[in-house]
Amino acid sequence: MAPIPSQSPQQDFEMLTQLREDFGVKHNDEWILPSNWLALWNLASPLGAMLGALTGGWFQDKVGRRLALGTSSFLSAIAVAIMYVSYLPEDIQGRRGCFFAGKFFQGAAIGAVMAATQTYMSEILPPVLRGSGMAFFPVFTLLGQLTGALVIFGSLRKSKGYTVAFASQWPFSFVPIIVSLLLPESPAYYVRKDRIADAIKAQARLDPPDTDTEAVVEKMRRDIEHEKRTARATYAECFHKQNIRRTFIVMWANSLTAVFGLPLLAKASYFLQVVGMDASVSIIFLILGIVLGLGGNVASIWVMARVGRRPLIVVTLSIAALFWLSMGVANCWKGGVVPW
């Protein structure tokens, strides 16, 4: 299964009727969210994540992976607070703008967090474990989604219940802060800063018993020195003729989730309500989808190690295309059976 990007509980907030009343407009005696603001809210997180990843890469090279992770997670908690109070402004445009700002700010923080965590894992994991290690990203993302969906299901009948869904994100912001205090710094970061003694201490915490830690760090130092002599680590180098093919492969791989329609699928519960499905039933469908996705991602850890990346991508994208085609065909008819 293709990895699923980070998605916090508030991204399914449209299913809450009270939120539609606070942020939407009345159309044919029903409260709906304006399409222009819905598009802006959908844009806010990925746009912020792009900028956050760019600045986060620079920031973690300056202060280290641990401090970058802790700082970005703290900023994410501030963004949750902004979204939590977004219903307070009296003017509806102010409420919408405040929520947009919170989503954008949180997207930037999450982009920096992802940059720090992926860099950290690539530096400490042996090559044989990197594929399986990276596969845990969507697994824990889906666990977060499942938690958010359950919170939303329990908040449907509560006044301002969507604020409970927003607040449920705070633990997910503070846990990485605690983790960043417990983790050793990346030995590769210390080597790049010529802090060899600190690198040996950090590597010793990562190595199994009876490992020659000094030899491991020395090999790392030689590899980094060779890298410095033969290549320049700049964003411009990514688009040099020698590297551009690899760069586009990385860009394509990271865009796969958007290619098969995950951003639209994340709003499926809202669209199911629009075409006539009850809110509670649509959330049950959301929960079932998350559970199936969780199972698929757990299975992908095993499958990816045996069949490889490319066959897995081709097969799963083909299956996704068939399902999207079936939904398009179902839309040719009207009636209560269409949402199902």
Residue 260 lies in a domain: no
| Residue 46 three-state SS | helix
Render pLDDT for 153-201 as a digit per residue (tens, 0 to 9). Answer: 776 666 666 777 788 888 888 888 999 999 999 999 999 999 999 999 9
The CATH number of the domain holding residue 135 is 1.20.1250.20
Range scoring the smallest mean pLDDT among 12-21, 115-124, 135-144, 316-325: 12-21
Q: Which residues form the domain of 82? A: 9-183+267-307
Residue 335: pLDDT over 90: no
Q: What end-to-end distance do the CA atoms of the chain give, in Å?
A: 24
Residue 190 lies in a domain: no
Cα 151–Cα 301–Cα 312 angle in degrees, nearest 5? 105
Q: Strands (DSSP E) along 8-96, which ranges?
A: 25-27, 30-32
Residue 51 lies in a domain: yes
Residue 160 lies in a domain: yes
| More confident: 175 or 262 | 175
Residue 324 lies in a domain: no
Per the structure, the count of domains in the chain is: 1
Place of tokens 């190595």: 207
Residue 37 lies in a domain: yes
Residue 229 lies in a domain: no
For residue 153 the two structure tokens come to 């299901």
For residue 50 the two structure tokens come to 């792009």
Render pLDDT for 110-126 as a digit per residue (tens, 0 to 9). Answer: 999 989 998 998 888 88
